[in-house]
Chains A and B, each alone.
Chain A
Amino acid sequence: MSSIKFKVNGESQSVDIDPSTPLLWTLRDHLKKTGTKFGCGVGQCGACTVHFNGVATRSCLIPVQSVEGAEITTIEGLSESGDHVLQKLWVELNVPQCGYCQAGVLMAAADLLKRKPNPTDEDIDSHISNICRCGTYPRIRAAIHRAAKEIQA
């Protein structure tokens, strides 16, 4: 066990934990931030995507010891009150079906828009490698394009 200190959504956290514990389970079990989802545990599906020092990262693959001192943003901290442009459009365009993968998709999409405010279809394809079994991909794409337009307006 060791004490790991890092920030989650701007708040300082100190966790006494097995340092090999993945960030995903640290967030979910220890800090009770269950918005970040467990999907595969091997970095394939992206349901566990968070921002690690501002970069979209699959939290199931990162031992918590490697986030010492880092800033982590989870879906709960993507915006003050669930009103990030993507969150608003996700609601307006009824993007989610079961919704389980969507926190991860939103975190990946928010990261994409930060880097490429006006992404092409190819940018979306290469940046959003998350898996959605319900098949919401067409709406994810549409919502990202709409968000890009709204940001520019």
Chain B
Amino acid sequence: MNQVVLSRRKFLISSATVAGGLSLQLIPSELAAAPAGKAARELSPWLTIHADDTVVVTVPTPEIGNGASTQQAMNIAEELECAWDMVRVEFASFTREYKQPGSYAVGLQPFFGGHSTDHDRMPYTLQLGASARERLKLAAAKRWGVPPSDIEARNSVLTHTVTGRTLRFGDVAAEAASVELTQEPALKAQSEWRLLGKKQPHKLQVPAVVDGSAIFGVDVTLPGMVYAALLQAPVHGGLLKSHDADAVMNMPGVRAVVVIDPSKTPGSPVQADATFGLEGSELRSGVAVIADHYWQAKKALDALPVEWELGLGQFWESNEKIRDRQHQVLDKWAGTPLTKAGDVEKFEAAKTVEATYSIPFCEHATMEPLNGTAKYTADSLELWHPTQDMQQAFWVAADESGVHPDKIDIHQTLVGGGFGRRVIGDDVRTVVAIAKQYPGVPVKVIWSREETTRQGTYRTSLAARFKAGLDENGTLQALQGETCFSGMALNIGYTDMPYAAAGNIPNVRLATSSLPMHIMTGAYRAPCYNAHAFTVETFIDECAVAGGIDPLDYRLNLLSGWDPAWANCLKVAAEKADWGRPLPKGQGRGIAISNWPHSGKPQAGATVCAVAHVEVSQSGELKIHRIDFTFDCGRIVNRDAVLAQLEGGIIFGLNMSLNEGLTIENGAVIEGNFDSYPMLKMSDIPDIRVHFEALSGHDRFAIIGEAPVGPIGPAIGNAIYQAIGKRVRTTPFRTHDLRWS
């Protein structure tokens, strides 16, 4: 076994024979040299080549629809030189990682469903593919008695180039398992890639999706399984006061009524190692009905008399009150400054611009409602879950069950939409709390759509105020900002905004503050950035207008000397969208640009730019005609996969900006289903044009699924201003009166 240095860590690639084939695994070097007498490591395959040529790639990441699992398989196939249609993927189990640390935990947040093409992950999978290929070649060389340099591997076939003899990968896979490499092969130059950056295969799970055989969490079917429907305190932090189980126990199929009690969480018997910690995953008080079938459980739950102790959250009587309180915090300008340059107070402005923006709580609305299945016994726990992070789910399950992690087995299912909702594991915890009270059989817990909506971990609500000092030329000379968060606070796209980082504004002060509330918040597709992009890009637009400068030119000036890809994204998008060509009254174009997750670093993350062309009728009806979109994530390995993420992200950004906003009334979320929390449909989608011309080719493969939600809202808002002269400073836009005459 030879060491390979991957991302500064040393690994060994070791081989084994599995069912007549070749299996490879990665082992961290420090763990490979097991002390004498200690049991040998169990095989944790990353890659198995079977005798029938099938290539099975084991992926630690879940598949939430972004193609993360397919991408890992593509990396391996690139170096392995196998036929792509022989490849399938299986999800690794975190249980194996727990029992044998280092089995699958490589790279940043190894079990998290994102970062699919992250540079950090690519070297491992490329090296595994290369290692397997070399072993196959050596096995064939040995069989034929020829030098391995005369053997070529392509499309799952090994060819002796001198004689034309061939062997399939599967023919020598078992022999390849005993091949010792004198050194790990070097990787191909990127220019020699045949699959990455060239081919655009569909996601591997798509055939199972279209024939109905794909198994999402809610589809798990097990012998003896029972079903649970649940109701949790309508005001987060509230408690179940009373319920009358007897009133429903005689209803058909009902087996039990159980209480979800946050005070009963036993804690993990060993130190938990949850990816994102356990905060935010706590139980929410409630009650569940367990029955033979889901509909029986749901009917009984609907008939169950329940009373709540609503708790302090009920004093947040309305969205207006939340907004007023956030604004009161901002009025003090007393936030913690995180980005500073010069002195914003000293600059004497020729013109001052000031504006305040507000962003509501938003719900992820994954199409698959929250659910999970667990089987608990006195000393074991088995889970089947559509989680976005198996490591997180595993430790939350340990914490809620009290079962020793040695006895916890977790199975990853497909995930029917994530967007951050299935990360922290409050859903896992609830499933375990219910299943624990009905031991011995698998319990599938399904949240109704209404409960899914009301028991969210929402996009953080925030308010932001900016004050700018312009000189007599309209140039931005002083920029002061404060953002007040009600919930999880991240500053990406705000305090690291490139307008400050580029150094062209001499005086800057960007601060943060908070107004804590009882509403649960969490990751929501590009957390907080999705709001900062709106506040920052709308304000920059307001400065441009106040300065009498074209908003495109204004941004280009502010970004001079910065990573030129930003300017290029702006210019290409503007050109494609016919920027500057006159439009009739009631129509307008708006532009916006942002980057996730590295606004403040040149040549990092994904820079995204949108130009929206909108029309507002005199009666105030808003129509988005077209979105022209440019981006720079360095390089790409699967153009179609990138395009799919951009299309999806743009539409997510559209929905978020046009439609989404929860109503808080006396502490509770009012909206329950899609009739009150509307989603865009086919007929609402504008002409979306994604342009690849602004890709810089810089040597990075930055993540692309989150960035595009940022610039859509501000581009539309800025276009509305150009169309009718009304400035929208809050979302969702559907609540604005846009009438004009």
User: Which residues of A approach B to under 8 Å, CB–CB?
Assistant: 1, 18, 20-22, 25, 28-30, 32-42, 44-45, 47, 74-76, 78-79, 81-82, 86-87, 90-103, 106, 124-126, 128-141
Assuming A76-B211, A98-B368, is B293 touching A25 (CB within 8 A)? yes
Identify the closest chain B residue to A46 (Cβ): B681
Is B89 at the interface (CB under 8 A from chain A)?
A: no
The smallest C-beta distance from A111 to any residue of chain B, in angstroms, reads 14
The smallest C-beta distance from A117 to any residue of chain B, in angstroms, reads 19
Assuming A40-B449, A41-B448, is B214 touching A99 (CB within 8 A)? yes
Q: Report yes or no: A82 in contact with B211, Cβ–Cβ below 8 A.
A: yes
Q: Report yes or no: B218 in contact with A140, Cβ–Cβ below 8 A.
A: no
Q: How far is the CA of A129 from the CA of B227 in the complex (A)?
A: 30
Q: Report yes or no: A87 in contact with B647, Cβ–Cβ below 8 A.
A: no
Among B218, B368, B651, the residue within 8 A (CB) of A135 is B651
The smallest C-beta distance from A11 to any residue of chain B, in angstroms, reads 15
Q: How far is the CA of A110 from the CA of B319 in the complex (A)?
A: 43
B454-468 CB contacts (< 8 Å) to partner A: none
Q: Report yes or no: B368 in contact with A102, Cβ–Cβ below 8 A.
A: no
Instruction: Please give 5 more A-B residue pairs, beta carbons under 8 A apart, in addition to A125-B683, A128-B682.
Output: A18-B299, A29-B295, A32-B221, A99-B209, A138-B688
User: Which residues of B approach A to under 8 Å, CB–CB?
Assistant: 64-66, 200, 202-203, 205-207, 209-216, 218-219, 221, 227, 252, 293-296, 299, 364-369, 414-419, 446, 448-449, 640-641, 644, 647-652, 655, 673-675, 679-683, 685, 688
Among B64, B211, B221, B414, the residue within 8 A (CB) of A87 is B211
Identify the closest chain B residue to A140 (Cβ): B682
Q: Report yes or no: A18 in contact with B295, Cβ–Cβ below 8 A.
A: yes
Among B65, B295, B647, the residue within 8 A (CB) of A98 is B65
Identify the closest chain A residue to B364 (Cβ): A133
Q: Report yes or no: B367 in contact with A45, Cβ–Cβ below 8 A.
A: yes
The smallest C-beta distance from B208 to any residue of chain A, in angstroms, reads 8
On chain A, the residues within 8 Å of B449 by CB distance are 39-42
Among B206, B213, B655, B680, the residue within 8 A (CB) of A94 is B206
Which one of A18, A33, A39 has the highest number of Cβ atoms from chain B below 10 Å of its Cβ?
A39
On chain B, the residues within 8 Å of A44 by CB distance are 673-675
Among A28, A98, A129, the residue within 8 A (CB) of B418 is A98
Q: How far is the CA of A101 from the CA of B212 in the complex (A)?
A: 11
Q: How far is the CA of A23 from the CA of B738 in the complex (A)?
A: 43
Among A22, A81, A137, the residue within 8 A (CB) of B651 is A137
Q: How far is the CA of A47 from the CA of B219 in the complex (A)?
A: 13
Identify the closest chain A residue to B218 (Cβ): A38
Q: Report yes or no: A134 in contact with B674, Cβ–Cβ below 8 A.
A: no
On chain A, the residues within 8 Å of B655 by CB distance are 135
On chain A, the residues within 8 Å of B688 by CB distance are 138
Q: How far is the CA of A150 from the CA of B64 in the complex (A)?
A: 31
Q: How far is the CA of A103 from the CA of B203 in the complex (A)?
A: 16
Among A30, A35, A86, A93, the residue within 8 A (CB) of B213 is A35
A–B Cβ pairs within 8 angstroms, 5 of them: A34-B219, A78-B212, A90-B209, A91-B207, A126-B683
Q: How far is the CA of A136 from the CA of B679 in the complex (A)?
A: 13
Q: Report yes or no: B650 in contact with A99, Cβ–Cβ below 8 A.
A: no
For the complex of A and B, the 6 pairs showing the least CB-CB separation, nearest first, are: A35-B212, A135-B651, A100-B416, A98-B65, A99-B209, A82-B211
The smallest C-beta distance from B296 to any residue of chain A, in angstroms, reads 7
Assuming A96-B65, A98-B418, A99-B205, is B650 touching A135 (CB within 8 A)? yes
On chain B, the residues within 8 Å of A45 by CB distance are 367, 674, 679
Q: How far is the CA of A87 from the CA of B210 in the complex (A)?
A: 6
Q: How far is the CA of A130 from the CA of B688 in the complex (A)?
A: 19
Q: Report yes or no: B679 in contact with A133, Cβ–Cβ below 8 A.
A: yes
Q: Report yes or no: A135 in contact with B652, Cβ–Cβ below 8 A.
A: yes
Q: Report yes or no: A96 in contact with B209, Cβ–Cβ below 8 A.
A: yes
Q: Report yes or no: B207 in contact with A37, Cβ–Cβ below 8 A.
A: no
Q: Report yes or no: A131 in contact with B295, Cβ–Cβ below 8 A.
A: no
Identify the closest chain A residue to B209 (Cβ): A99
The smallest C-beta distance from A121 to any residue of chain B, in angstroms, reads 9
Q: Report yes or no: A75 in contact with B448, Cβ–Cβ below 8 A.
A: no
Among B367, B644, B682, the residue within 8 A (CB) of A141 is B682
Q: How far is the CA of A33 from the CA of B648 in the complex (A)?
A: 29
Q: Report yes or no: B682 in contact with A106, Cβ–Cβ below 8 A.
A: no
Q: How far is the CA of A133 from the CA of B135 in the complex (A)?
A: 44
On chain B, the residues within 8 Å of A38 by CB distance are 218, 369, 446
Q: How far is the CA of A90 from the CA of B685 in the complex (A)?
A: 19
The smallest C-beta distance from A79 to any residue of chain B, in angstroms, reads 8
On chain A, the residues within 8 Å of B218 by CB distance are 34, 37-38
Q: How far is the CA of A49 from the CA of B346 in the complex (A)?
A: 64
The smallest C-beta distance from B588 to any residue of chain A, in angstroms, reads 23
Q: Report yes or no: B683 in contact with A36, Cβ–Cβ below 8 A.
A: no
Q: Report yes or no: A98 in contact with B64, Cβ–Cβ below 8 A.
A: yes
Assuming A94-B203, A132-B367, is B295 touching A40 (CB within 8 A)? no
On chain B, the residues within 8 Å of A137 by CB distance are 651, 680-682, 685
On chain B, the residues within 8 Å of A86 by CB distance are 210
On chain B, the residues within 8 Å of A103 by CB distance are 209-210, 212
On chain A, the residues within 8 Å of B211 by CB distance are 35, 75-76, 78-79, 81-82, 87
Q: How far is the CA of A138 from the CA of B626 in the complex (A)?
A: 13
On chain A, the residues within 8 Å of B295 by CB distance are 18, 21-22, 25, 29
Q: Report yes or no: A100 in contact with B202, Cβ–Cβ below 8 A.
A: no
On chain A, the residues within 8 Å of B367 by CB distance are 37, 39, 45, 47, 98, 100-101, 131-134
Q: How far is the CA of A112 from the CA of B48 in the complex (A)?
A: 43
Q: Report yes or no: A90 in contact with B651, Cβ–Cβ below 8 A.
A: no
Q: Report yes or no: A91 in contact with B652, Cβ–Cβ below 8 A.
A: no
Q: Report yes or no: A29 in contact with B227, Cβ–Cβ below 8 A.
A: yes
Which one of A128, A136, A138 has the highest number of Cβ atoms from chain B below 10 Å of its Cβ?
A138
Q: Report yes or no: B368 in contact with A37, Cβ–Cβ below 8 A.
A: yes
Which one of A74, A95, A133 has the highest number of Cβ atoms from chain B below 10 Å of its Cβ?
A133
Identify the closest chain A residue to B371 (Cβ): A38
Identify the closest chain B residue to A83 (Cβ): B211
Identify the closest chain B residue to A21 (Cβ): B295
Which one of A40, A79, A98 has the highest number of Cβ atoms from chain B below 10 Å of its Cβ?
A98
Q: Report yes or no: B205 in contact with A97, Cβ–Cβ below 8 A.
A: no
Q: Report yes or no: B65 in contact with A97, Cβ–Cβ below 8 A.
A: yes
The smallest C-beta distance from B88 to any residue of chain A, in angstroms, reads 15
On chain A, the residues within 8 Å of B673 by CB distance are 40-42, 44
Q: How far is the CA of A47 from the CA of B416 in the complex (A)?
A: 11
Q: Report yes or no: B683 in contact with A18, Cβ–Cβ below 8 A.
A: no
On chain B, the residues within 8 Å of A129 by CB distance are 681-682
On chain B, the residues within 8 Å of A106 by CB distance are 210
Q: How far is the CA of A125 from the CA of B369 in the complex (A)?
A: 25
On chain A, the residues within 8 Å of B679 by CB distance are 45, 131, 133
The smallest C-beta distance from B253 to any residue of chain A, in angstroms, reads 8
The smallest C-beta distance from A35 to any residue of chain B, in angstroms, reads 2
Q: How far is the CA of A29 from the CA of B364 in the complex (A)?
A: 26
Q: Report yes or no: B674 in contact with A98, Cβ–Cβ below 8 A.
A: no
On chain B, the residues within 8 Å of A95 by CB distance are 206
Among B210, B216, B680, the residue within 8 A (CB) of A91 is B210
Q: Report yes or no: B647 in contact with A138, Cβ–Cβ below 8 A.
A: yes
Assuming A25-B293, A34-B215, A106-B210, is B221 touching A42 (CB within 8 A)? no
Q: How far is the CA of A36 from the CA of B216 in the complex (A)?
A: 11
Assuming A38-B446, A40-B449, A125-B682, is B674 touching A131 (CB within 8 A)? yes
Q: Report yes or no: B293 in contact with A30, Cβ–Cβ below 8 A.
A: yes
Q: Report yes or no: B682 in contact with A96, Cβ–Cβ below 8 A.
A: no
On chain B, the residues within 8 Å of A39 by CB distance are 367-369, 449
On chain B, the residues within 8 Å of A136 by CB distance are 644, 647-648
On chain A, the residues within 8 Å of B364 by CB distance are 133
Q: Report yes or no: A92 in contact with B202, Cβ–Cβ below 8 A.
A: yes
On chain B, the residues within 8 Å of A91 by CB distance are 202, 206-207, 210
On chain B, the residues within 8 Å of A138 by CB distance are 647, 685, 688
The smallest C-beta distance from A86 to any residue of chain B, in angstroms, reads 8
Q: How far is the CA of A95 from the CA of B640 in the complex (A)?
A: 10
On chain B, the residues within 8 Å of A32 by CB distance are 221
Q: Report yes or no: A96 in contact with B210, Cβ–Cβ below 8 A.
A: yes
Q: Report yes or no: A74 in contact with B212, Cβ–Cβ below 8 A.
A: yes
Q: How far is the CA of A140 from the CA of B218 in the complex (A)?
A: 24
